[in-house]
Structure 1
Amino acid sequence: MLTNVRERFLQIRIRRDEKEIKIGFFITGIIIIILLANVVYLNFFLLKNKGVANTNISPRKSSVDTIIPSPTQIQAQNQTLSPTPIPPTIAIQNTYRTTTSNTIKDYFIPLGSGTNQSSDWVDVPGAQVAIDLGQYQNVKEVHFEASVTMPTSNGSVYVRLFNVTDKHPVWNSDVSGVGNSIYTLTSPAIIYDKSAKVYQVQMKTQMQVAANLTQSRIHVTLE
């Protein structure tokens, strides 16, 4: 009797399980169908929207028009961009100094000109300069130079530098000429003071004849 009850219980349980399995398969099938329908709908919707978007997109014409310059404009631009001719550089030579290998070697300090016919040493008016010869570096030697004319060519003429500041002649600056109408005189290397001094040109003639100082200068030569 117990065996019959057990078999009946098992049969009822098996039927219940089969029913639950069928219900589970049914529900699973419905879910799969719904998912497939959603996938199909989404694909259709995306394809439709993509087609609409492609239809709405059309190539736009550039708002920037191509500008082709006219021959007149090209000629004007070429004239504007053409280089301006540069005039050649003219080297100006300083008459009071000479250069060797871009290094100044000689300085000429002008003193002035004038006239004299005294037999004693007198100042030539305007032939004067204030300078410090010590400001020149690496001095090799300094000379006094004078150009003199004597229209009568009589007697001798004498020229020298005078240190007005210290009230004495500049040593070795005396130069002289005799028997000619034109003289270009250069002194030996003078002895000078290395500080600011006032230098004055003085002249005298042997026979008190007129003598013209046409040019006088101090010539500084560097090593």
Structure 2
Amino acid sequence: MKRFRNYLVILATGLVFIDLAYLNWHQAKRLTVEERLATIEKRLDSLIKRAPASSEPSARLNANQVSSPTATFDEQSPPSPTPSNSKSAVTTSSVKEYFVPLGSGNTISQDWVDITSAKATIDSSRYGSIEAVYFEASLQIVNGELHARLVDETGNHTYYSSDIFHNSSTPQWKTSTAVSLNNGTRTYKVQLRSTSGELGTMAAARLRILVK
């Protein structure tokens, strides 16, 4: 009987410990859930408070972008009037520069020969007040010298001062001293000669006209 009573006491004590352990576990779990909920609430509050602050810089940035547009400008200049027989024109502050192409050609002749593929008809009155005219040509020859000059075919007048020459196989532009165009409509041509009798080539020739 005494032994049975001892068993009951031990069993009751064990039940008490189990019950206390269960209550502690349940309380701890409940606190953990409550702590998690509290943590979540704090994070939500912090996000809500930060939202207006983070959107404010974007609003300021957009405002700056709207108030400071990037402007673009068209810097093209209006075209300058060019006579019909001019290939191109360049305008400076007070002088217009026109280029009239004459053509190209070659020769092996040691005497002056007409280059039929290098000529142009020009009406000097279409240019207004002409300040100066220059004969220019791109020349090349292996040996010797290649000479070029301008001739007024209409008036059968040779511009002796327009004689230019080159003595290299590397093409190079040469420019004469200033010449004066005759009044009215005239046809101008180019003459060539090779001092060595070897082939000389004029890649291009032109008149450069300066107009006030």
Q: Please confirm whether the aligned pair reaches a TM-score higher than 0.5, indicating the same fold.
A: yes
* CA-CA distance at 1:104 after TM superposition: 6.3
Task: Establish whether residue 156 from structure 1 lines up as the match of residue 145 from structure 2.
Answer: yes
- Measure, in 2, the Cα distance between the counterparts of 1:200 and 1:207: 23
Amino acid at match of 1:157: L
For 1:46-65, list aligned pairs within 5 A.
none
Hey, what does 2:102 align to over in structure 1?
Answer: 111
- Measure, in 1, the Cα distance between the counterparts of 2:175 and 2:92: 22
* CA-CA distance at 1:190 after TM superposition: 0.6
- Measure, in 1, the Cα distance between the counterparts of 2:95 and 2:168: 37
Hey, what does 1:77 align to over in structure 2?
Answer: none
Moved segments of 4+, more than 3 Å = 88-95
Aligned residues: 133
Amino acid at match of 2:89: R
- Measure, in 2, the Cα distance between the counterparts of 1:184 and 1:118: 21
Hey, what does 2:194 align to over in structure 1?
Answer: 205
The TM-score normalised by the length of structure 1 is 0.53
Hey, what does 2:184 align to over in structure 1?
Answer: 195
Task: Establish whether residue 172 from structure 1 lines up as the match of residue 161 from structure 2.
Answer: yes
* CA-CA distance at 1:166 after TM superposition: 1.2
Check the 8 A contact 2:149/2:160 in 1, yes or no: no
Amino acid at match of 1:115: N
Check the 8 A contact 1:172/1:191 in 2, yes or no: no
Task: Establish whether residue 96 from structure 1 lines up as the match of residue 88 from structure 2.
Answer: yes
Check the 8 A contact 1:162/1:200 in 2, yes or no: yes
The TM-score normalised by the length of structure 2 is 0.56
C-alpha change, 1:92 and 1:203, in structure 2 (3 Å) is farther
Structure 2 gap segments, 5+ residues each: 1-73
For 1:176-187, list aligned pairs within 5 A.
176-179=165-168, 181-187=170-176
* CA-CA distance at 1:125 after TM superposition: 2.6
Instruction: Determine what percentage of the aligned residue pairs are the same residue.
Output: 30
Which among 107, 125, 134 is matched to residue 143 of structure 1?
A: 134
Amino acid at match of 1:108: F
Check the 8 A contact 1:171/1:190 in 2, yes or no: no
